[in-house]
């Protein structure tokens, strides 16, 4: 009798496990994929969504806007030697959406010491999140590529080791990444971008009365259409800026070993200080120029000013000061290594040089 009970219990457990196991299909690349799962939760525009991810998980996160609630869709992708082991991995991964005092928490859960860690096996999540417009987003995941298109009221990525691309934020944008590209577009308001060992690209930025902070180490910075204050620092790669209009009195651009090339629609207000240790600095002003320039170049370098009606106010072996227009803006350029300073004005039929 006892033997029959034990056999029955074992069979029941086996049937339950089979019933609860997530269906998996295998693709051409040998990955096991779970079904697309969906969750919904009440959420209002202006509330905050926090997304946390286990360090043992990687994948993609897509955030878009639309509707009057939060919708979370996800799929598990598993690299394992057989279906049973893939199913065991799937059981360890959970996506949990819970309410918080100011909005929602979406938690991408997996064991810190996961069985797939440190080997050729892997577990990934593809996550698609839709939220109402003008929500605030905060993401803390290390190995998820992030793509987000708003409008959002705030977008914060605390620290990521994956690609990040964010569009349409009207408020605060703070993103910190390493090793992978960071791109932002259509950003208004307070801005802070930090990267290491990869590139930063910006398009259509307006910081208003704020000074945007951009820090890169061993990576290029590429800017297309920027308005507002700017504090930009990078090293060992170039800085390129197009359609710039800087305001305020604390604008700074610094490079350690790479060129700086900035193009301005006009230069009629604010203060700008540019320093470059070992690289050429090129300034192109396409429209009106009302500025005082102070250029200090390295011993074996030169300063060239073309296409601009200007009045020299001080000429020394390693320094040129000149004024043009009403001198409403102030630009100071310093190269300490072997970089030249080239300044091109809007008067293509006239100019001077040194």
Q: What are the pLDDT tens digits along the chain (354 aa)?
A: 444 444 444 333 433 343 345 789 887 677 899 999 999 999 998 999 999 999 999 999 999 999 899 999 999 999 999 999 999 999 999 999 999 999 999 999 999 999 997 778 999 999 999 999 999 999 999 999 999 999 999 999 999 999 999 999 999 999 999 999 999 999 999 999 999 999 999 999 999 999 999 999 999 999 999 999 999 999 989 999 999 999 988 899 999 989 999 999 999 999 999 999 889 999 999 999 999 999 999 888 899 999 988 899 999 888 999 999 888 999 999 998 888 999 999 986 544 444
pTM value surpassing 0.75: yes
How far apart, in whole angstroms, are the C-alpha atoms of residue 135 and residue 311?
Answer: 52
Query: CA-based diameter of the chain, in Å?
Result: 108
Q: Any bridge partners for residue 109, and if so which?
A: 94
In the chain, where are the structural domains located?
23-138
- Phi-psi bin for 218: left (phi > 0), alpha (psi -120 to 50), beta? left
Q: Tokens for 52, please give them.
A: 């946390």
Q: Are 91 and 149 in contact (CB under 8 A)?
A: no
How far apart, in whole angstroms, are the C-alpha atoms of residue 276 and residue 335?
Answer: 5
Give me the pLDDT at residue 125, please.
97
Give me the pLDDT at residue 21, please.
58
How far apart, in whole angstroms, are the C-alpha atoms of residue 241 and residue 263?
Answer: 6
Query: What letter would DSSP give residue 22?
Result: P
CB half-sphere exposure, 282, CA atoms < 13 A: 12
Give me the pLDDT at residue 248, please.
86
Q: Are 270 and 291 in contact (CB under 8 A)?
A: no
Number of helices followed by number of strands (H, E) in the chain: 2, 26
Residue 115, phi then psi, degrees to nearest 5: -65, -20
């Amino acid at each position: 009798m006892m033997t029959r009970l034990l056999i029955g219990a074992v069979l029941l457990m086996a049937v339950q496990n089979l019933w609860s196991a997530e269906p998996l299909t295998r693709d051409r690349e040998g990955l096991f994929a779970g079904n697309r799962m969906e969750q919904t939760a009440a959420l209002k525009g202006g509330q905050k969504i926090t997304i946390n991810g286990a360090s043992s998980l990687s994948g993609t996160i897509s955030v878009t806007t639309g509707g009057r609630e939060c919708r979370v869709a996800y799929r598990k992708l598993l690299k394992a030697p057989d279906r049973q082991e893939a199913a065991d991995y799937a059981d360890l991964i959970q996506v949990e959406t819970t309410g918080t005092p100011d909005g929602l928490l979406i938690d991408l859960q997996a064991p810190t010491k996961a069985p797939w860690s440190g080997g050729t096996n892997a577990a990934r999540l593809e996550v698609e999140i839709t939220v109402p417009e003008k929500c605030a987003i905060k993401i803390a995941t290390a190995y998820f590529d992030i793509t987000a298109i708003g409008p959002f009221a705030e977008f914060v990525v605390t620290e990521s080791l994956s690609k990040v691309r964010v569009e349409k934020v009207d408020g605060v944008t703070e993103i910190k990444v390493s090793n992978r590209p960071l791109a932002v577009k259509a950003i208004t308001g307070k801005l802070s971008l930090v990267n290491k060992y990869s590139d930063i690209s910006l398009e259509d930025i307006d910081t208003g009365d704020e000074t945007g902070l951009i820090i890169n180490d061993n990576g290029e910075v590429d800017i297309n259409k920027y308005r507002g204050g700017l504090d930009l620092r990078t090293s060992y790669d170039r800085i390129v800026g197009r359609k710039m209009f800087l305001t305020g009195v604390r604008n700074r651009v610094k490079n350690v070993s790479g060129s700086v090339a900035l193009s301005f629609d006009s230069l009629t207000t604010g203060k700008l200080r540019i320093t470059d240790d070992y690289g050429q600095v090129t300034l192109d002003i396409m429209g009106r120029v009302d500025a005082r320039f102070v250029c200090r170049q390295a011993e074996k370098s030169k300063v060239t000013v073309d296409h601009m009606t200007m009045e020299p106010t001080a000429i020394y072996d390693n320094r040129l000061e000149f004024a043009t227009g009403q001198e409403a803006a102030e630009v100071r350029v310093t190269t300490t290594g072997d970089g030249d300073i080239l300044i091109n004005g809007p008067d293509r039929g006239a100019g001077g040089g040194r």
